[in-house]
Amino acid sequence: MIDIRHIRHLLAVASHSTLQAAADAIHLTQPALTQSIARFEEELDAKLFDRRGRRLVLTELGERLVGRGEDLLRHVRELEEEVSLWKGMGTGAVGIGVDPEAEMSLLPGVLETFVPAQRGVQVTVRSGHTAMLLPALLSGELHFLVADAEIALERDDLEIQKLAADPIAAALRPGHPLVRKRKPTAAELAVYPVAGASTAPRFERWSAERTGGEGAEPLVPALICDNYEVMVRLAERSDTVVFGPRELLMGYARTGRIKVMGWPLEGPEISPSLIRSKGRQLSPAAERLMMLFGS
């Protein structure tokens, strides 16, 4: 019978560059981890790694077990959560993923409500683009995502609930030369550096169509940054034009740091969604946190 601990140890070694790094990640000594892998190979009567100097390279069997092992551990985590739910305990921890827009706009208000009221629950937040967060959701590490769902719409293993959309806007320093422009052309915008966050594919298509329709070259961002505070500071101190969700930028504009322009961009909207694995039962704490994002 395969010991689940051996699977955990195998995955740790397979995902780290050295045995020591793998041992540190799972809080074992390096000799104990080495012994565990050796015992696993002995029980299977087969090699899982080829030793090449200091490097360990997965054998064909090792690669197969790693692929199956990831699914197995995900099911084990889900089973443990289900048992906790049945006992009425919850998991005591919630892991979520948020994209840059949700992190700056929706997340702070939700946490202000949730954290003081749920002191027995530990919330872990991971930030990144949807493509970076999906593997962690599918593996069970994260309970749900609050992110743009465009690249996930075709998946049949996910449940997606759209949240309120936010139109895209442009922001400048108050004394910027374009402040008084009613609707600058693509050519006029191209004179100045442009900054924005990582975006869904529809924004690139829109930018190419808009500038192409005006006979101008597509705008190439001088800065792609998922930290809006950094971009706003840059706009304050230069002629950089920052593009982002209107409500998010308005928060900075209310302090007088930048000015949000009324240009009718007529582009795609920032559209966050709640994304979860289909059929996965969540703890009461995770359900409560997810409900707050949707309210």
φ, ψ at 116 (rounded to 5°): -65, -30
Give the separation between CA 137 and CA 143, rounded to whole angstroms: 6
Burial readout 67-105 (b: 16 or more C-beta within 10 A, e: otherwise): eebbebbbeeebeebeeebeeeebbeebbbbbbbbbbbb
In CATH, the architecture of 94-162+272-294 is 3-Layer(aba) Sandwich (3.40)
- Positions of CATH 1.10.10.10 in the chain: 4-86
Least confident of 19-23, 58-62, 216-220: 216-220
- Binning pLDDT at 50, 70 and 90, where does residue 201 land? confident
Fold category of 4-86 in CATH: Arc Repressor Mutant, subunit A (1.10.10)
Closest CA to 2 of 46, 33, 40, 47: 40
Domain 166-270: CATH superfamily is Periplasmic binding protein-like II (3.40.190.10)
Segment 138-158 shows an average pLDDT of 92
d(CA 167, CA 181): 20
**Alpha carbon distance 263, 172 (integer Å):** 12
What pLDDT is attached to residue 85?
57
Distance of CA 48 to the CA centre of its chain: 32
Question: How high is the mean pLDDT of the chain?
Answer: 86
What pLDDT is attached to residue 82?
Answer: 64
> Mean pLDDT throughout 163-184?
90
| Among 143, 151, 150, 147, residue whose Cα is nearest residue 163 | 147
- Residues of the chain with pLDDT > 90, as a percent, come to 34
Considering only 44-48, 160-164, 216-220, which range has the smallest mean pLDDT? 216-220
Pair of tokens at residue 160: 């997606």
Residue of 272 and 269 predicted with greater confidence = 272
Specify the amino acid at residue 204: E
Residue 218: pLDDT band with limits 50, 70, 90: low
Question: What's the farthest any 2 CA atoms get from each other in the chain?
Answer: 76
Supply 30's token pair. 């390096």
Q: Which of these, 239, 265, 258, lies nearest to 185 by C-alpha position? A: 265
Out of 96-100, 141-145, 216-220, pick the least confident.
216-220
SS3 assignment, position 15: coil
Amino acid in position 5: R
Q: Above 70 in pLDDT, residue 212?
A: no
Q: How confident is the model at residue 90 (pLDDT cuts 50, 70, 90)?
A: very low
Q: Where in the chain is the domain with CATH 3.40.190.10?
A: 94-162+272-294, 166-270
> Residue 25 contacts by C-beta under 8 Å, 6 or more apart in sequence?
12, 16
